[in-house]
């Protein structure tokens, strides 16, 4: 989505943790991101595998 792309996520990135909690599947990642959004937070911190590196990406939730 636009927020993820604007935050720096790229095609091929693999989310391995959401707010420092490891996830093993896209389903787990989606559930963890949804829970963070329901908590009223403004963003979620993702740890992603990108090629040979792991990087942190903060993705803001859409306002409204």
24-36, pLDDT tens digit by residue? Answer: 999 999 999 999 9
Which residues in the chain come in under a pLDDT of 70? 1, 63-64
> Whole-angstrom Cα distance, residue 32 to residue 38?
10
Residue 46 structural domain:
2-60
Q: Which two tokens stand for residue 39?
A: 């908590």
Q: What is the pLDDT of residue 64?
A: 55
Place of tokens 């963890």: 32
> Whole-angstrom Cα distance, residue 51 to residue 28?
21
Q: What is the CATH number of the domain that holds 54?
A: 2.30.42.10
């Amino acid at each position: 989505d636009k927020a993820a792309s604007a935050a720096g996520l790229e095609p091929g990135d693999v989310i391995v943790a959401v707010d420092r909690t490891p996830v093993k599947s896209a389903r787990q990642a989606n559930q963890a991101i949804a829970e963070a959004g329901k908590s009223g937070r403004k963003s979620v911190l993702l740890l992603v595998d990108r090629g040979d590196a792991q990087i942190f990406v903060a993705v803001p939730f859409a306002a409204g």
